[in-house]
Chain A
Amino acid sequence: MNDKLVIGKHEFNSRFILGSGKFSLEMTNAVIKNGGVEIATLAIRRANKGGEENILDYIPKGITLLPNTSGARNAEEAFRIARLARELGCGDMIKIEIIKDSRYLLPDNCETIKACKLLSDEGFIAMPYMMPDLSAARSMAEAGASAIMPLGAPIGSNKGLLTKEFIKIMVEEIDLPIIVDAGIGCPSQACEAMELGCAAVMANTAIATAKDVPAMATAFKMAIEAGRIAYLAGLGRILDNKAEASSPLTGFLED
């Protein structure tokens, strides 16, 4: 089946985007392999040589890096982080994360819209992490975003698709891949997001906090694939046994 995930000029077979940074680096390879992962995110602030180990050393060749701008508090900072990512050889895709809220880590849509413009003008494939708000998503698309990444629930919460209705609206209204980022807590939720027509799912905490991390990656892979196939197959109807009126609404046609 020729069913590629297309983001900007890149094409992928896998629709499971792996967030990194929450499980030990030596497990990365197994998670990527089990999950059939082709895209993995990384925080540029961690990719610097500052820490003990560099995540870049653990991500296998052939995996597309999706650097994020975490740590940025406004568009200008996100822009500088993105440039740094490019210098580090992390490619041209960038996940815009602009967060001014340290408790819930909820994104700032206004600054994110600005960053989309700055980054896409600079030639980046901008993928904004955002609160699912239709107007903001439209502005991001207009500002040059290549995908929209609404959150399902607060990051790391594992609470699932709390924003389901709004994500549905975005899938329907925005002509860009919609990728649920943050909040997905278990494979069934990932599957549900895919059934709705999301183009991909990003998960990290759900896998990182599982008892068996690599096995959970396998489960996510299967769930995401199942959801995608179900979406393409077209979900069956939900029965609505509404009684027909004794005097039919269209009866006037016969008189």
Chain B
Amino acid sequence: MKEYTDVEEYFDTMEHIESDVMDKVLDLMKRYDPSAYTAKDVVNAIAKERLDIDDFGALLSPAATPYLEKIAIKAKDETAKHFGNSRCMFTPIYTSNYCENRCVYCGFNKDNDIHRAKLTIEEVDKEMTKIAESGLTEILILTGESRTKSDITYIGDCVKTAAKHFSSIGLEVYPMNSDEYHYLRECGADYVTVFQETYDHQRYSELHLGGPKRVFSYRFNAQERALIGGMRGVAFGALLGLGDFRKDAFACGIHAYFLQRKYPHAEISYSLPRLRPFINNEEDTNQVHEKELLQTALAYRLFMPFAGETISTRECPKFRNNIVTLCATKISAGVCVGIGGRAEEEKGDEQFEISDPRNVEEVRKALVERGLQPVFNDYVRV
């Protein structure tokens, strides 16, 4: 079945794993035709106790848009069934914005003339101390994708530092080999997030002009290598708006589905990023509006009712306040997307603009006002 070949060869250092997940996902994505669904398909999908891949496709289709309210009602129920009223809070920390990739939509693009910086471990510790004062116990460590500027040892040291302050540590860094994930797991990391950005590999090659990220399949298999390396959970995301968002959301949804089937112990979570303005690209050419984003989030909830959903500060407070009542289970607060800036002055530029500048207390309050229970600590390291 394998028809896909990478536009660029694997680098010598990149690990190959035996997996049929990518072929399955790309094959189903190719056959997925959002315009083929009818209202009846949507109604049937909503009524099901357990949705199959085709039902998920129906919920993402244009035929589902008139049923958004009905889908929201079901989603709210499902979220309550699996998560009750608890919603996790966390914050990201960007420790470096050096990057070797040339992704046309990204502020960290190697070709962009921005202030580059990397926090020293001492600075990381200061920033984390500051964050920990807010009461948060979950942190997401992010770096630009540079194996030279932020190598595995550096990331490992960031994780070890984080482990002193936080009980749950996520990573959103470059894809790596399973032994490297294993090392970072030993350092204290729990979760790995990798966005495939777009699952349309043609579009992918047009948008990712250089750097290791150009190797589509190495990125695709990152979550699986992370699980092989012993990570507790993995998160998935398509940057909606880069390609046909329905097809990308479909592929992202089933990517997680197939991995969970293969690794049933893995904790699964979806992120919901959509394209926003960033440095050197102020123009908004995005066709994914709040309504489309919500449709995607609700479809993920019905398809994988047990999966986490993270809502980013790319979205405005009003949207975030509402989506956490329906299907999002994890919300960030007190976010800085530049390098540093919490304990000391910002050292390096941001990856994108955020739309929700609220601090931890403000987000916490907003959750409580909606009858939700903010959860700061959802994991105990043993």
Contacts and interface: CB of A to CB of B under 8 A. Distances in A.
A236 B44 contact: yes
Interface stretch (B68-76, B201-209, B335-343): B68-76
Contacts of B326: 249
A245 B48 CA distance: 21
A252 B293 CA distance: 13
Contacts of A175: 261
Contacts of B264: 138, 173
Contact of B47 (A239, A245, A248, A255): A239
Contacts of B68: 250, 253
A238 B47 CA distance: 6
A172 B322 CA distance: 32
Interface string A212-255: 00000000000000000000001011111010110011101101
A7 B18 CA distance: 25
B73 A253 contact: no
Given A138-B264, A173-B261, A250 B69 contact: yes
Interface in B49-97: 50, 68-70, 72-73, 76
A173 B263 CA distance: 11
Contacts of A249: 69, 72-73, 76, 322, 325-326
B318 interface: yes
B47 A250 contact: no
B291 A253 contact: yes
B47 A253 contact: no
B17 to A, nearest CB: 17
Nearest to B322: A252
Given A249-B326, A252-B319, A172 B294 contact: no
Interface of A: 138, 172-173, 175, 234, 236-240, 242, 244-245, 248-250, 252-253, 255
Q: Which 4 A-B pairs have the closest CB atoms?
A: A237-B47, A249-B72, A252-B322, A237-B44
10 contacts: A172-B50, A173-B264, A236-B44, A237-B43, A238-B47, A244-B69, A245-B73, A248-B72, A249-B72, A249-B73
Interface of B: 43-44, 46-48, 50, 68-70, 72-73, 76, 261, 264, 290-291, 294, 318-319, 322, 325-326
Given A138-B264, A234-B44, A252-B322, 15 more contacts: A173-B264, A237-B44, A238-B47, A244-B69, A245-B73, A248-B69, A249-B72, A249-B322, A249-B325, A249-B326, A250-B69, A250-B72, A250-B294, A253-B68, A255-B318
